[in-house]
Amino acid sequence: MIADLRWRDYVLTKGDAGLAMWHTLFAERERNVLYVLGLGFDERMCVGLQAVFGAGGVGKRDVCVLRFEEGPESASRSHSDLRAANEQRLAQLVASGGCGLSERSIPLVSDDNRRIGGRSIAKAFSNPEDFRNYTDVIVDISALPRGLYFPLIAKLLTMFDQLPKDGSVHNLHVVVAHSPTLDMAIRDEGIDDSATFLHGFSAAEFEREATREQPRIWLPVLGRGQQIQLDRILTLVAPDEICPVLPSPAQNPRESDDLILEYRQVLFDQLRVEPRNIIYASEGNPFEVYRQIVRSVRQYKRALAPLSGCKAVVSAMSSKLSSLGALLAAYELRDSEGEDHVDVGVAHVDAQGYALDKPRDGESPTLYNLSLAGECYADKE
């Protein structure tokens, strides 16, 4: 029997319903909130902070800003004015809310130009005592690159899962200001030559020589304009079976068709993916992405049991919202025990920076809130 999913029942709110949720939550009792966000050029950076801290309530309100430098040649430097504007906006929100402010500096690249962002951010949040005094820790990934928020959320989930069950309240939430239009306007530049497995998941375990012959199942969650990344991750993973995850339903009803057309050559000519391997999951529900991935991988594991099971690789190459689903799936598969445990890697390729095209219309982002641990899952614990 396939084990139950950790987030089979989940808490996901968006837009006005999300705001109502925060109002209700903060009105219930005193809550001490730590809001963690990245400092970047993305105009969505402060949307969540403004909404959540604008929901009132009593208790401490602290902000932890993650500063990361992409290097002197990063294309993101050309948006330093946008970043400065965001920083100013952040300062205003912090001042008007009477919030405490702390910063953590996250080195992304070592002296010899290797990617160390994942380890750096995990190291920056290594002390559980840092969260003991907060009832709610909110991680806003709107302006954080994937190479940082994946290991950050994995680390926080691990720490939260290890907190003693002494009746104290510790909730972990993730928020993201979602806008497919703005996502399409941001392009990676200076993509790294090689992909890597992100820290926080079974990177080294996945690459063991002892289990090299185990079949590898790759589940890329596809988004637009990721051809180069797809090629590089493919070189790293060398999968035996590929199950692309496409968004359906989606804001654009033909989004999955468009993605098939965009990646037709690599999917069907180069990789010869079986069309029936394609998985569809709602663009607006990361928990559905999570569910589809976990179930698919577990089914493969059972089917391939005569070959000693399989390893799974997840790649999040789409919107941040869908990417969260991939993250949760990887976390659950890694942390499962017994016959449900799967060695899972998260294959990712970083970029030096980002270029920003002008968005085609002035679409406002929608704020999504996911609760990952804490009170709403107390029954499960």
Judged by the rule CB under 8 A, the positions of this chain that interact with another protein are 73, 75, 110, 112, 114, 116, 119, 122, 126, 154-155, 158, 187-194, 199-200, 202-205, 207-210, 228, 235-236, 238, 265-266, 268-270, 272, 351-352, 355
Task: State the nearest-atom distance from the C-beta of 333 to another protein, in Å.
Answer: 14
Smallest separation (angstroms) from another protein to the CB of 268: 8
Examine residue 164 and say whether the peptide bond preceding it is cis (omega within 30 degrees of 0): no
Q: Which is nearer to another protein, 157 or 321 (CB)?
A: 157
Q: Which is nearer to another protein, 82 or 203 (CB)?
A: 203
Closest distance to another protein from the beta carbon of 207 (Å): 4
Task: Give the side-chain half-sphere CA count within 13 A for 102.
Answer: 10
Least distance in Å: CB of 36 to another protein? 17
- In degrees, rounded to 5, the angle at the alpha carbon of residue 221 between the alpha carbons of residues 216 and 227 is 90
Kindly state the smallest distance separating residue 370's Cβ from another protein, in Å.
21
Is the Cβ of residue 116 or residue 279 nearer to another protein in the bound state?
116
Q: Which is nearer to another protein, 235 or 252 (CB)?
A: 235
- 84 alpha carbon, distance to own chain's centre: 25
373: β partners: 172
Supply 8's token pair. Answer: 């089979």
- 341 contact partners, CB below 8 Å, separation of at least 6: 333, 334
Q: How far apart are CA 131 and CA 120, in angstroms?
A: 18
Strands (E), the chain: 11-14, 33-38, 61-69, 100-107, 136-140, 171-178, 186-191, 196-197, 216-222, 241-242, 245-247, 279-281, 311-317, 344-348, 351-356, 366-373
| H or E element at residue 286 | helix 286-303
Residue 313 Cβ vs another protein, minimum distance, rounded to whole Å: 13
The alpha carbon dihedral of 317, 202, 120, 99 has a sign of positive
Residue 24 vs 110, nearer CB to another protein: 110
The distance of closest approach from Cβ of residue 304 to another protein in the complex, given in angstroms and rounded to an integer, is 16
